[in-house]
A = this chain, B = another copy of it.
Amino acid sequence: MEEFSDERLARLTGMLKRRGVILPAFEIHGGAAGLYDFGPVGGRLRNRVNQTWVDHWQSLGNVVEISCPTVTPYSVLEASGHVGEFSDFLTECKGCGAPSRADHLVEEFHPNAESLSRDELTSLIKTHNPPCPSCSDSSWGPVEAQNLMFNTKIGAGASGRQAFLRPETAQGMFTSFTSIYRHFRERLPFGAIQTGKGYRNEISPRQGMIRLREFNMAELEYFIDPEVEPNHDFSIWTDNVMLISEESGEIKTTFGEAVTAGIIRHPTVGYFMAWTMDFLGKVGINPKHLRFRQHESDEMAHYAQDCWDAEILGSYGWVECVGIAHRGCYDLSAHEEATGQKLRAWRTFPEPKLVEIDGWTIDGAKAGPAFRSLAGRVKEIVEGLPADSTFPLSLDIDGQSVEVLSEHVKRVQRSENVNGEWFVPHVVEPAFGIDRIIWHLLDHCYVETEKSGESYTLLSLPELVSPVDVTVLPLFEKDGMGDLAQKIHRDLCGRRNVFSSYDASGSIGRRYARADEIGVPWCITVDHESLVDGSVTLRSRDSGEQTRVLISDLPF
């Protein structure tokens, strides 16, 4: 098992930069904190991890992919709660003016500084007077909430409309709910996924890929009927996993047992935890460095019914990489309320119900002329009033005051056979930080060893995500070996899902080492014999084994 250390981290980071896997963005222009590039090797790794994620969740059979804009109007993120809530506490150094996150300043004085209130942070800073990370001064301004969204404007000049870069992809699934519901022919459960950029204007980004200002996200919003008991089969997950539950602390058990015991509070949350573990294993996360931690009640959003983080152990300690939350009906209800549009699903009763209706409606003949264009809105409101309402009644409709007199309304009392009802579906959301996962799979697959007395490193990446499938190496470029190697290389590049590279510099041993360093699972060497009998040497990264195969029999 890997031994994580700061020295190993420095070597790994250096290799990732040197080989073009992950590197600070815009470095020739002085860089920009919290922004990273996936370079000539990392770009394909990112693409494959992303595509593996999409395929993984689509294989559920009732999940579709959508793609929405990142620029998001103010009203959408006001409705979702992000305008009001998505913030960190910031304080400015009185010496140099540099802003710091208040919780970062006091994290050595509190085990969970992120959860502290503004007053608690203010008092801790007063007590301990931490030094400014920029100038070492210890004099701090007031602690203020700072919204973390990137601001922008849609449209030109004075008519520009305030907007943000999305802090998550999830809102697109909620605002498109109607279209997705129609697509699934109005049958729950179903899900929609989206991958793409999310943004968070961090006050002080740090820890490499862990805390980015622009990041790759991947989220599933899975819509369910809260009255239908899910019927998930947990029997295929027989291994124990490490759970840290709110009530029981650290336990080792199976997902099925944890659901049965009520430790995981909803079966679909448990089911997606298991699917999450499977995904992480596929892309190269070491399952021994994985645990699931349940949010404490005071840590969880008020509307959430249960929430588990998949945490991965690596060079930065345990890091939250996935959150799996039961969000209840919060999101759809919030957009309903903000827009007046119904975001509901229909539930047919097993058999029709006789319902007593006792309430009010408007008397069209009198209400129509009285309220004119507002008559429809008045009707809607009146029909929602309880039976014991009294009139006259004052309503406020979009800022207009309306007086409803008793002559405008009629009492309604009748029995009705009802076949079903509209309800707001509940949502279970697995949300993935793709950059953090890529960081950790690199961290887990990075192996430092020795070869002939010299240090030797390799990336033991799963073939599914390795950035290069195969490297073609001519022993020499002369005598037609270079041409034949190029031909094989080009031919492999033309195959679907195969990416080959070509390397002709240095000894074969050096080139094997170069391929191992970035995790290429296979090398093909073209030599003099190849020109005669069409055979090449196929060498495996993992076993080091070399076999002679015909070009026509290459397993790609």
Taking the complex as formed, is A214 at the interface, i.e. its CB lies under 8 A from any CB of chain B?
Answer: yes
Known: A43-B66, A61-B490. A99 touches B159 (CB 8 A): yes
Q: Which of B37, B65, B76 is in CB contact (< 8 Å) with A43?
A: B65
The answer to whether A214 and B71 touch across the interface, beta carbons within 8 angstroms, is yes
Taking the complex as formed, is A36 at the interface, i.e. its CB lies under 8 A from any CB of chain B?
Answer: yes
Taking the complex as formed, is A249 at the interface, i.e. its CB lies under 8 A from any CB of chain B?
Answer: no
With the chains together, A183 CA to B76 CA distance in Å? 43
The answer to whether B156 and A146 touch across the interface, beta carbons within 8 angstroms, is yes
Taking the complex as formed, is A47 at the interface, i.e. its CB lies under 8 A from any CB of chain B?
Answer: yes
In whole Å, how far is A136's beta carbon from the nearest beta carbon of chain B? 17
Q: A6-14, A20-28, A296-304: which one contacts chain B?
A: A20-28
Q: Chain B residues with Cβ under 8 A from A185's Cβ?
A: 503-505
With the chains together, A126 CA to B151 CA distance in Å? 37
The answer to whether A20 and B179 touch across the interface, beta carbons within 8 angstroms, is yes
The answer to whether B197 and A157 touch across the interface, beta carbons within 8 angstroms, is no
| Residue of chain B at shortest CB distance from A55 | B496
Known: A28-B343, A66-B39, A72-B26. A61 touches B156 (CB 8 A): no
Chain A contact patch, size range: 35 or more
Task: Report A29-45 residues with CB < 8 Å from chain B CB.
Answer: 29-30, 32-44
Q: Which of B28, B34, B172, B338 is in CB contact (< 8 Å) with A335?
A: B28
The answer to whether A339 and B183 touch across the interface, beta carbons within 8 angstroms, is no
The answer to whether B61 and A214 touch across the interface, beta carbons within 8 angstroms, is no
The answer to whether B70 and A214 touch across the interface, beta carbons within 8 angstroms, is yes
The answer to whether A42 and B67 touch across the interface, beta carbons within 8 angstroms, is yes
Max chain B CB contacts within 10 Å: which of A155, A338, A493, A494?
A: A155
Q: Which of B30, B39, B69 is in CB contact (< 8 Å) with A214?
A: B69
Q: Chain B residues with Cβ under 8 A from A338's Cβ?
A: 29
Known: A20-B182, A159-B99. A73 touches B493 (CB 8 A): no
Known: A153-B151, A214-B69. A59 touches B159 (CB 8 A): no
The answer to whether B65 and A54 touch across the interface, beta carbons within 8 angstroms, is no
Q: A90-98, A284-292, A409-417: which one contacts chain B?
A: A90-98
The answer to whether A61 and B28 touch across the interface, beta carbons within 8 angstroms, is no
Taking the complex as formed, is A547 at the interface, i.e. its CB lies under 8 A from any CB of chain B?
Answer: no
The answer to whether B156 and A201 touch across the interface, beta carbons within 8 angstroms, is yes
| Residue of chain B at shortest CB distance from A205 | B155
Q: Chain B residues with Cβ under 8 A from A129's Cβ?
A: none
Q: Chain B residues with Cβ under 8 A from A489's Cβ?
A: 61
The answer to whether A37 and B172 touch across the interface, beta carbons within 8 angstroms, is yes
Taking the complex as formed, is A213 at the interface, i.e. its CB lies under 8 A from any CB of chain B?
Answer: yes
The answer to whether B28 and A67 touch across the interface, beta carbons within 8 angstroms, is no
| Residue of chain B at shortest CB distance from A96 | B159
The answer to whether B214 and A60 touch across the interface, beta carbons within 8 angstroms, is no
In whole Å, how far is A496's beta carbon from the nearest beta carbon of chain B? 7
In whole Å, how far is A1's beta carbon from the nearest beta carbon of chain B? 31
The answer to whether A75 and B29 touch across the interface, beta carbons within 8 angstroms, is yes
With the chains together, A53 CA to B157 CA distance in Å? 36
Taking the complex as formed, is A79 at the interface, i.e. its CB lies under 8 A from any CB of chain B?
Answer: yes
The answer to whether A213 and B71 touch across the interface, beta carbons within 8 angstroms, is yes
With the chains together, A498 CA to B152 CA distance in Å? 39
Q: Chain B residues with Cβ under 8 A from A493's Cβ?
A: 58-61
In whole Å, how far is A211's beta carbon from the nearest beta carbon of chain B? 13
The answer to whether B65 and A47 touch across the interface, beta carbons within 8 angstroms, is yes
With the chains together, A544 CA to B92 CA distance in Å? 70
Taking the complex as formed, is A406 at the interface, i.e. its CB lies under 8 A from any CB of chain B?
Answer: no
Task: Report A194-217 residues with CB < 8 Å from chain B CB.
Answer: 194, 196-197, 199, 201, 203, 213-214
The answer to whether B39 and A180 touch across the interface, beta carbons within 8 angstroms, is yes
In whole Å, how far is A517's beta carbon from the nearest beta carbon of chain B? 12
The answer to whether B71 and A35 touch across the interface, beta carbons within 8 angstroms, is yes
Q: Chain B residues with Cβ under 8 A from A23's Cβ?
A: 176, 179
Taking the complex as formed, is A346 at the interface, i.e. its CB lies under 8 A from any CB of chain B?
Answer: no
Q: Which of B159, B500, B505 is in CB contact (< 8 Å) with A61?
A: B500
| Residue of chain B at shortest CB distance from A101 | B156
Q: Chain B residues with Cβ under 8 A from A213's Cβ?
A: 69, 71, 154
Q: Chain B residues with Cβ under 8 A from A339's Cβ?
A: 28-30
Q: Chain B residues with Cβ under 8 A from A26's Cβ?
A: 69, 72-73, 76, 175
Known: A20-B182, A68-B25, A70-B214. A154 touches B38 (CB 8 A): no
The answer to whether B90 and A64 touch across the interface, beta carbons within 8 angstroms, is no
Taking the complex as formed, is A439 at the interface, i.e. its CB lies under 8 A from any CB of chain B?
Answer: no
Q: Chain B residues with Cβ under 8 A from A546's Cβ?
A: none
In whole Å, how far is A49's beta carbon from the nearest beta carbon of chain B? 11
Taking the complex as formed, is A5 at the interface, i.e. its CB lies under 8 A from any CB of chain B?
Answer: no
The answer to whether A90 and B157 touch across the interface, beta carbons within 8 angstroms, is yes
5 contacts between A and B (CB under 8 A): A25-B175, A28-B343, A59-B494, A61-B500, A97-B158
Q: A37-B68, A47-B65 are in contact. List 11 more A-B contacts (CB 8 A).
A: A23-B179, A29-B75, A29-B339, A32-B163, A38-B68, A43-B64, A43-B65, A47-B54, A55-B496, A71-B199, A99-B156
